[in-house]
A and B are shown apart, each in its own frame.
Chain A
Amino acid sequence: MDITTKVIDLAELTDRDEFPAFAAVYCTKSANPFVLSPTAMRWSDSIYLSRLDDCKLFWSRQKKKLRCKLAELFDPLLRYHHGADYVAVFGNHPWQCLWYLHYQLRQQANGVYLLQSRLNQNIFKTLDWECWFATQEHLSDHWLALNARGFGEESFRSRQAQMQRFIQRIGVATPHEMNLADGNAITRRFGKWLGLVWQWSFNDTKALHGFPWIKLAPEKLPVVKRDLEYPVNQWSSIELLLREDFTSLCEQIQQNDSEHINRMLWQITLFNDQKISVELSFRHPYSLHRDMPDFDTALYQARYIYDDLILNLQARDSDLDLPASMPFICWQVEICERVMLAPVLWDLFAQECDEIDYQQIMALQNKLPLAFECYQSDASFYPEQSFARIPIGSHQQQPFDYFPWSCSSADKPLFYYQSAQPIATPGRVQKVFLERNSNQWWLGEDALQSIRDYFILQDHNGRSSWAYRTQDGEWFKQGEFC
């Protein structure tokens, strides 16, 4: 019996833990292509491409927040927007996504497929030539639309036929069996365009490498313009009018439950015809129509901007013979950045751990001029690195118990100076030695400089502060025992 052994590459057994740069989505309904990203391309009537790299941070945060896998994050979202019959392939290059999508459509599959996963990587390597050529069906349309220099449809088709004959002759079953062939070799033999397709098929970088990406123009964003009958400068009057404008914006977005706003632009024309543009930005995506009819959140943000603007104008015009607060004569409010988020995503947020309603806290934060501070411990004995500020709700299960690091801070104050203050060498005060600590000494040139001796200093009134002494004998105050 002939026993053949095969060495399994370790990479074949592990998923690649990286965020996909693109997605190809097939859906039967004429659906919104901006579900996953504001950068999208229409590939065919039923397929669109999304560039996820543009909102990688947002999706990475949602994934971390929900403590789920990417497929679990995207599946309910796409199901909500496109129904159950959608197919979505996530990968590093749009061509690879389209190629694998074509295969899954042939298999009559549906759902989310990540090309990073081990299973999909292994299936991807078995895709046949028929699938590879069939995926090229709409490719020439896009090159023609882009007026790609030197591209001719007839010559491309004849090169395809030439390549098909070549493959039949040499008897290679799948493109992956030939993946060691250099892109330049394919270009020399079958022309530039098939050479490019070959390069996309096996290149693992996120660069487009000549892929005909035609960005889909976003729909016209809602705008409300108001020309005032009389100049106004009092917030009480402005507030009433802005509330009407927000209602009219809501009507324009047809109370779509998925519509969330990141930024609004408020372009104000002052009494002296000066035009000022200010931005109402929200820390968390804001649903305008859910805030109807009061629009508390948007009006709070507008109020903070109004107060700042009036203060600045008063400071600027204090020596001029102008009204104390410059009146407004007209303005325009427009939504300049929005994101489509299915309500199911918000429902998931609400189901987070231990009944803390982060959604409610985020909604409250949207109404404030400042952000809440949220902290998590870190495994470091060095005081400044023993914790980290994190976004709301992104507390992570720590891989091991950080208590040994945390408990070393029990005799340190609750508040500290973010930049330590130099002080004179303490004279007649009580000094209690706490610890000798060292930063990452291996990173600096002079290891001794990173050594600090920490003390509690107590003055004659019994007031304590937290200070350290460097190896040069300089003293710094780092905190107060409040």
Chain B
Amino acid sequence: MASLPVQFTDTSLQQQLQSARSLENRRSQQPQELRSGIEALDACFAQIKPGDLIEWGIPPGLNGRLIPLQLLKQDIPPSVWIYHHHGLGVFASSWISHGVDLQRLFFICSAHPVRELRPIFLEDTFKRIIIDAPRRFSTGDMAFVSQQARKQGQIIFLIRHYFLSEKRGNPHASLRINTWQSGKRSFSLQLIKGPGTGRISLPYSAVAEEYGHYN
């Protein structure tokens, strides 16, 4: 009859459980890594920790990037936004008007970030890396980026230029979310993977200042 090693006796299991619970408590006391000041949005990102990859589905034209932007407003560590949109450049005053600190957020334009900007992922200079609509991003790239993020304690935002669906999953992402502006008065979030699933609606005024428009 096989005997259990000493470290797996009942007592040790109990101890392990206890220490795991205390770990959990300790983690829950840690400040939230990603904060926006919008309660409903912060609840979605409460579990995010350094090393996580968040996949966003934001098709062009729907103004959905204003949602990840909310998480880059408050006391962010040095971060980099890697973008690639045909012929488009950064309209910096709009970012400033949304409250982003451009002393801490840097930009770089690359269609193949892993191939062209490998040193960014090999060092921990930037604690938040936003990869915005790369032209090509293979499963191998995803594995490399998520592994490096865990190693360097970085949080990666991977923004796709299409809506994400449950049919094609992503084991590397801890959170998958679609965002878009729905009508003039609200933004919508659809959680595909994460602590919960379903749809959340945020009023426009919570995300951006409302100015009078004349038709």
Contact = CB atoms under 8 A, between A and B. Distances in A.
B85 A482 contact: yes
A66 to B, nearest CB: 16
27 contacts: A357-B78, A360-B125, A361-B78, A368-B119, A368-B120, A369-B116, A370-B116, A372-B108, A387-B91, A392-B106, A406-B93, A409-B91, A409-B97, A413-B91, A414-B94, A415-B83, A419-B87, A431-B215, A459-B61, A461-B61, A464-B181, A480-B61, A480-B85, A480-B88, A482-B63, A482-B64, A482-B85
Query: Which of A392, A417, A421, A465 has the most CB atoms of chain B within a 10 A radius of its CB?
Result: A417
B96 A377 contact: yes
B96 A406 contact: yes
Interface of A: 296, 300, 354, 356-357, 360-361, 364, 367-377, 383, 386-387, 389, 392, 395, 405-419, 421, 431-434, 456, 459, 461-465, 479-482
Contact of B104 (A356, A463, A479): A356
Given A361-B78, A407-B97, A418-B87, A368 B61 contact: no
A356 B85 contact: no
Given A356-B103, A370-B109, A412 B91 contact: yes
Contacts of B108: 368, 370-373
Contacts of A416: 88-89, 91
A431 to B, nearest CB: 8
Contacts of B85: 415, 480, 482
B88 A411 contact: no
Given A415-B89, A421-B87, 15 more contacts: A364-B119, A370-B109, A406-B96, A406-B97, A409-B97, A410-B208, A412-B94, A413-B94, A416-B91, A431-B215, A432-B213, A461-B61, A462-B62, A481-B63, A482-B85
A407 B85 CA distance: 24
B88 to A, nearest CB: 4
Nearest to A380: B93
B1 interface: no
B61 A462 contact: yes
Contacts of B93: 377, 383, 386-387, 405-406, 408-409, 412
Nearest to A393: B103
